[in-house]
Structure 1
Amino acid sequence: MNENTETQTGQNIYDNNDEGISLSELLKIFKHHFKWFLFGFFLVVGMAVVYLQLAIPQYESGVSVLVDPIQKSSSIENLLESSASSTKIATEVELITSRKNIEFALSTLDLDSYKNAEGDSYSNREVLGNVKDRIVVSTVKDTNIVKIVVTDASPMFARDLANALASSYDGLLTGIAKNSKTAQREFIDAQIPINQKMLVLASDALGDFRENSDIIQLTDKSTLLVNEISYYKLRLEPLKLQMQEASVFIQNYNQGLVNAGIKGILTLDELGNDVKIKAKLKELNGWKTELTMYESLSSPQIGTSATSLSSNNSSRVYFLNSAIEQITKDLLDRVSVLTSAYANESNTQSIVQLLTTEVAIQVLEERGAQFTNELSQLPVLERQLSELQRDVQIYETIDLKLRDMLEEVKLVEAAVTGNVTVVDQANIPLNPVSPNKLLILAVALLLGCAVGLLFALGIEASDQTIRNEAQIKKLVKNAIPLLGWLPLMKVSPKDKYPMFSVFNDPLSFEAERFKLISNMLYNKHDMKVFSITSCSMAEGKSTIVANVALSLAQMGKKVLIIDGDLRLPSMERFFLLKHSESGLVDYVINSVPLERSIVQPLDSVPNLHLLSSGSTPLVPAAIFSNPNYIETLKHLKTLYDFIIIDAPPLDSASELLTISKNIDGLIITVRAGVTSKLSLIDLVDNLKTGNAPILGIVFNGCSAGTTNSGYHYGNYYNSYAYRYNSYQNNNSKKGLKLSNYKIQNSSGYRKKYRQNIRQRDNQKLDLSDTVLAFGPQSYCHSLHEWGDVQHFNPVTGIGPQHNADFKDGLEAIENDLESIGKL
């Protein structure tokens, strides 16, 4: 069978199994492979028990703490609030399991006082192991309460480490909070002297100018211009820093993309040249210019009081801000579309921020340039005075702001205390948390049942042999009827014909099963020629041929058995006959007279004849396609009521399809636990392709539970035999024993079957094989009783020992064959 056929056949099996598996089938599988279920069950449970014996008990101790966030606003309002709102503390929680915090907590403990199960000190870091893996930190939802849980084999160490972690964690957060405020205070302290120095220089320069110049008073216009220029310069500095920050972020991000091998990254110039972006930036420039004008009028100027213009133009300012926000949103959407292939949200926002900041800086620079130009038109002395006054005012304003910030930071720094408050101290745990023996055993029981069931199903799935009638019906899709089933039997060494139950004990249960199949053939009035085959060797087809043929002969019918297995004939060995030198092959090829080949195998059954195979041909299929064979078979149908051909299995002989062309019905033998699903499907497919007249299937070698009608056939068989035993006791002195064919235990059955197959492969068709197969005593006994092989006339049905004139019988058959032109 080639690979394509195997694949197609395997697919057929899957197609046939699409219906799934029923509960009854699942229970049968469970019962049949119960030992595998027990193996899987005890394997898992045993592993669980071993784990519980080897596992070291682990103890768990926890401490609950209330954590304040490090990052708080430094404003006086938040500092003086009486109730703090719940703040996310994800960053603070991560610090609990930081290496610095764990190391500091361990340094506060006396590790020599803790021992493991072997008595080794925890001061050995290899004994201590990775402490971080045994620390679990969790937060209570919507609160700042954090629970630190430590698990360890030592309950004392678990408690002490949990408390030490809380203590060291408090110091860690307090230090971080103070360090941030201290750094901020130190920075402001360093900036104040620098600003004061610059203020002194500016004041001295202004004083020197007034002393050395003749200017007494500047005009109001020059003062206004100076204020405006100062305002725009103060606005420009933070915008430039903001633009520089965004530019650095975008450059680093794009460089990372380039290093990662990502192409198609748009530069800022390419983005700025986009038509839509360019239009939006132009529109933004106009709105920003107008808004800057309103802001310069409504904002308090350096050294002046607030103007009342802001209240009069608040609606327009609100409109301008709304328009700017909408344009910014449109820019963000457009940039997101252009950079969707590589940019994330932060990168997109940085690009929009950079573009809008450039517009704002451009507007402020243009406005400042206009005022600077106007100021340049004033006299030189006035301009110098205005610039000096402007510098003094700027440094004075910065000095006031720095001093306010310094006082605020000092107040916050002084208010920083412990960020962690212990709510519940850790206690010594009394009971271990792992291993949870009850839970592990419960899970092991459930998992053991599941694994055991999987083992049973896996063994069943790996077994491709046919074990029950339901599988046969599913494989053939109920297209081929089951003619009957035969029980799994064990031969008795006392029997002359080991597997001939119909001959050995006609009233036995096994014999009745064969007779049931014979009755089905008997009722086929329009059929005479039947062939019995199997999927592979040693599946019981020869036994079925002999028993069915004898059953038909016992009904008074004249039956001929043809041994069609030309490669490995078995019918002569079955009947303990010496191999005949002439047979079917010799008649078809060499025209050897047919009466020399047809014998009466049983002396007590004169209407049962056997046509042996004879010589071994080179091409067995040519024998069954020979016109001599076809015409002779037609003639034999007029002489016999039934002709049963023992056909070879398909996997070892291709002539099966040739045999099937000249028969009325073909019976397939399937042996339980031996015949594979692939073999049956392949046989049926080939027979259907060759238009073979498949009559039905005989299920051979059944054990209890493999048949639908004989689920408890063993009990039925015992009671059946008992009734016949009682009947025979009442009618004769000799009681009927139970059938010689005992129900065989399935244990070791397949092993013995494989040994039988290997033995058959090594056998040759000679006398020594017969003696080896059936024993020298049985064979010699049969020869002694029967003498040599008995030859018969197929026309008269009378053998030489019953025919006074053997020559007449010989001439009769020769004349009859000559009339059809075959001699």
Structure 2
Amino acid sequence: MEEEKELTFSDILRIFKRRKWTFLIIFFLTIFLTGIYLFFIATPKYEAKQVIEYKSSSSQPTVSLGSMSSAANLLGISQPSDSGLTTEIERMKADWVLANVVKELNLVEKANENKGLIARLRGTEITERYLIDSLKEDINIQNVEETNMIEISYQSSDPTIAASVVSLVYSYYTDYAKNLYFEDSQSYLNQVETLFEDVSHQYDQINKEVLDFQTKNKLQGTTLDPSSESTQGVDPLINYYSETYMNILKLEADKNQLEIRKQAIEDNIFKMSPETKEFILTNTEKDTPVKDIKSKLVSDRIELETLKLNSPSSPRIGALEAEISVLENELENNLEAIFSNDLNFLASIDMATFNEYTGIITQLQLFDVTKQVYENMLQLIDDEIAKRSPIMYEYFLLRKDQAILQTRYNTLLTVLEQERMKASLYDNKFTVITSAYIPENPVAPNTTLILVIGVGVAIALGILSVFVREVNDKTVKDLYEFESLFGVPDIILDDSNDAEKIVNYVYKKDFKKFGLLFLGNFSVAQNLSQRIYNILNTIKPYKTEYFTSIENEDYKEKFEKFEKFKNTNEAFIMFDNFNNSDYILYRDDLEKIIIFIEEKTTNLEDIMEILEKEKDPTVVYVKKY
């Protein structure tokens, strides 16, 4: 017998032919159970949805410092920040929001009334905390790709509950967001009011000091307001200094707004890699052409401002303005060339944003130039006035402090007015695009998909069952398997009643004494042996004796039977298995041992063992239908 035998396609077909009922039973049983699950066990799930749009440019007064954000930083005011889309999505799942949904829909009581059998047996009590956590897991709030749209969805076996949960989540979120908004606003307002009182006191004090200084030093012709058009008796440098200082504050505010927008583009659209971001932030300063242009712009702007102050009629002013315009255009072109390669992907996604982004970068560079000009001019004025009389320089310092405090005072006053208008200016950050409605058709279970999966599982289980049975079945399955393992049998019986072939074989060979060894069903062995005996007695009346091996037989009777067998001229004996003690006793007195292999009954290992022990047995294969 071969130790290993590879399965061929024909072998597999024969296996399935033998095990077709196993396959069909498992297949249809799995399909039946799938149908039972679909139509009697599975609970239909209904999904409700609501689509809302995030207002990226909402008219929220939270940025009340807006164009004066740099002045706010100067004042040390901590502004309430405008939360982004991701933060708002998380707020929709806040405990306060979901707790109110649970309470309004009375979900705790309903859940406890409809507990499953296992929960009832365990005595499990469903709490509000459990339902809040469950809602956090089950409710789906996600951003629709490449849009400002948000989709809120929830599945439930009750379509009304599904729609109610979605609708109430958004409703309570709007209340929650509004409450947070006004809490932040009030906290911010308290900061501003406290600071305003302090700055107001300092501003009154500096005005008094300026007035006292003017009176003491006979400068009554000067004005207390640095921005006033009345400049009689006041050195024009002082007014210029105040105006320039105010310009720096405004410039810082504008720059701050551009930085915010630039950061928003980088965070939400550009998604730069660290390498690209480093290039954007550092390359313009290291690039020689850009650095040279900026340096030239600074020097030209300083010269222009100095000429306007000291020689307003100089023809050089026009030439400088033209040269500055050319340099600004050259700076813009150089920056576009630097950024173009690294921003190609942004341009392919959103050309408008690309143009805005490159424009912001250019404006920020120009702001740097302008700021350097202003700061240098302030230093020049400070140095110029310091050269004059100590009285004028002291007066200049007072007026400079007065200008700073006036800016702070005006800024805080504006902030207070804006913050106090918040209640009337508040606007929700979202617009409802599609309201939640009660769904009519369930989304789960997906009947078609589950049936397809069921068929696939049924086939897989059917195949698995066939091979499991095949592997576990150690009997000889059919004649093909027997021949492939042990060779062609000497005699093939079409059924267990086909005794004539055995008689013909014995008669032809003229065996006087032979044994029948059955590796199969005992009742089949008895029937076949009896038929053989009957036929032999018909041919040779009263000449052939039929002996049957009986286990646990009395020893005296056993040996008397053996002596009779030895002294009989023609006889045969039937053994029901080769481990029978009688088989050893009679074996040497037999001319031939005939081994019967019964299809689907005889164990393969038994066949191997008897064929190894017997030198030249006659093998009879008994088919089974």
Could you tell me the TM-score, scaled by structure 2's length? 0.52
CA–CA separation in structure 1 for the residues paired with 2:433 and 2:40: 37
Which of 488, 492, 495 is equivalent to 1:489? 492
The offset of 1:385, in angstroms, is 1.8
Partner of 2:325: 315
Partner of 2:600: 747
Matched length: 451
Whether contact under 8 Å (1:74, 1:409) holds in the other structure is no
SS in 2 for 1:97: coil
The answer to whether 1:280 aligns with 2:286 is: yes
CA–CA separation in structure 1 for the residues paired with 2:325 and 2:480: 89
Q: Which amino acid aligns with 2:94?
A: S
The offset of 1:173, in angstroms, is 3.2
SS in 1 for 2:92: helix
The offset of 1:289, in angstroms, is 3.9
The answer to whether 1:100 aligns with 2:96 is: yes
CA–CA separation in structure 1 for the residues paired with 2:162 and 2:200: 57
Structure-2 change in CA distance of 1:360 and 1:224 (3 Å): closer
Report 1:659-678 matches (<5 A).
none
SS in 1 for 2:114: coil
Whether contact under 8 Å (2:203, 2:406) holds in the other structure is yes
Q: Which amino acid aligns with 1:62?
A: A
Partner of 1:258: none
The answer to whether 1:201 aligns with 2:205 is: yes
Whether contact under 8 Å (1:63, 1:422) holds in the other structure is no
Structure-2 change in CA distance of 1:34 and 1:358 (3 Å): farther
Structure-2 change in CA distance of 1:149 and 1:383 (3 Å): same
Structure-2 change in CA distance of 1:503 and 1:105 (3 Å): same
The answer to whether 1:133 aligns with 2:137 is: yes
Partner of 1:378: 388
CA–CA separation in structure 2 for the residues paired with 1:105 and 1:500: 93
CA–CA separation in structure 1 for the residues paired with 2:333 and 2:236: 35
Partner of 1:691: none
Structure 1 stretch displaced more, 452-461 or 402-411: 452-461
CA–CA separation in structure 1 for the residues paired with 2:373 and 2:472: 82
SS in 2 for 1:72: coil
Whether contact under 8 Å (2:92, 2:173) holds in the other structure is yes
The answer to whether 1:448 aligns with 2:451 is: no
Deviations 1:485-511 (A, max 9, x none): 77993486676699899969xxxxxxx
SS in 1 for 2:388: coil
Report 1:736-815 matches (<5 A).
746-749=599-602, 751=603, 753-760=604-611, 763=613
The answer to whether 1:396 aligns with 2:424 is: no
Whether contact under 8 Å (2:38, 2:445) holds in the other structure is yes
SS in 2 for 1:747: coil
CA–CA separation in structure 1 for the residues paired with 2:327 and 2:60: 30
CA–CA separation in structure 2 for the residues paired with 1:210 and 1:127: 74
Partner of 1:72: 58
The offset of 1:390, in angstroms, is 2.3
The offset of 1:315, in angstroms, is 2.1
Partner of 1:415: 425
The answer to whether 1:213 aligns with 2:223 is: no
The answer to whether 1:37 aligns with 2:23 is: yes
The offset of 1:381, in angstroms, is 1.8
The answer to whether 1:110 aligns with 2:106 is: yes
Whether contact under 8 Å (1:229, 1:372) holds in the other structure is no
Whether contact under 8 Å (1:227, 1:390) holds in the other structure is no
Structure-2 change in CA distance of 1:238 and 1:370 (3 Å): farther
CA–CA separation in structure 1 for the residues paired with 2:256 and 2:444: 61
The answer to whether 1:170 aligns with 2:174 is: yes
Partner of 2:34: 48
Structure-2 change in CA distance of 1:468 and 1:194 (3 Å): farther
CA–CA separation in structure 2 for the residues paired with 1:242 and 1:420: 27
Structure-2 change in CA distance of 1:358 and 1:395 (3 Å): same
Whether contact under 8 Å (1:225, 1:374) holds in the other structure is no
Whether contact under 8 Å (2:97, 2:169) holds in the other structure is yes
Whether contact under 8 Å (2:48, 2:159) holds in the other structure is no
Whether contact under 8 Å (2:26, 2:458) holds in the other structure is yes
Structure-2 change in CA distance of 1:450 and 1:113 (3 Å): same
Report 1:530-569 matches (<5 A).
none
CA–CA separation in structure 1 for the residues paired with 2:204 and 2:589: 136
Structure-2 change in CA distance of 1:326 and 1:138 (3 Å): closer
Structure-2 change in CA distance of 1:404 and 1:233 (3 Å): closer
Q: Which amino acid aligns with 2:24?
A: L
Partner of 1:791: none
Report 1:178-327 matches (<5 A).
178-179=182-183, 182=186, 185-213=189-217, 217=233, 219-221=235-237, 224=240, 280=286, 286-293=292-299, 312=322, 315-319=325-329, 321-322=331-332, 325=335
The offset of 1:133, in angstroms, is 3.3
The offset of 1:447, in angstroms, is 3.0
Deviations 1:482-540 (A, max 9, x none): xx977993486676699899969xxxxxxxxxxxxxxxxxxxxxxxxxxxxxxxxxxxx
Percent identical residues: 15
SS in 2 for 1:130: helix
Q: Which amino acid aligns with 1:116?
A: N
CA–CA separation in structure 2 for the residues paired with 1:160 and 1:29: 57
CA-atom RMSD in angstroms? 6.4
Q: Which of 1 and 2 has higher RCO (CA within 8 Å, sep 6+)?
A: 2
CA–CA separation in structure 2 for the residues paired with 1:157 and 1:279: 60
CA–CA separation in structure 2 for the residues paired with 1:286 and 1:227: 29
The offset of 1:116, in angstroms, is 0.9
Whether contact under 8 Å (1:75, 1:408) holds in the other structure is yes
Whether contact under 8 Å (1:70, 1:176) holds in the other structure is no
Whether contact under 8 Å (1:501, 1:741) holds in the other structure is no
Whether contact under 8 Å (2:19, 2:466) holds in the other structure is yes
Whether contact under 8 Å (2:297, 2:369) holds in the other structure is no
Structure-2 change in CA distance of 1:230 and 1:317 (3 Å): farther
Whether contact under 8 Å (2:97, 2:173) holds in the other structure is yes
Structure-2 change in CA distance of 1:69 and 1:228 (3 Å): closer
Q: Which amino acid aligns with 1:130?
A: S
Whether contact under 8 Å (1:192, 1:403) holds in the other structure is yes
CA–CA separation in structure 1 for the residues paired with 2:240 and 2:375: 17
Q: Which amino acid aligns with 2:179?
A: G
CA–CA separation in structure 2 for the residues paired with 1:48 and 1:377: 98
CA–CA separation in structure 2 for the residues paired with 1:229 and 1:402: 18
Structure-2 change in CA distance of 1:376 and 1:498 (3 Å): farther
Could you tell me the TM-score, scaled by structure 1's length? 0.41
CA–CA separation in structure 2 for the residues paired with 1:154 and 1:212: 86
Report 1:500-649 matches (<5 A).
none
Structure-2 change in CA distance of 1:43 and 1:361 (3 Å): farther
Structure number with higher helix proportion: 2
The offset of 1:147, in angstroms, is 5.2
CA–CA separation in structure 2 for the residues paired with 1:331 and 1:445: 54
Whether contact under 8 Å (1:112, 1:122) holds in the other structure is no
CA–CA separation in structure 2 for the residues paired with 1:122 and 1:297: 82
The offset of 1:759, in angstroms, is 4.0
CA–CA separation in structure 2 for the residues paired with 1:224 and 1:64: 58
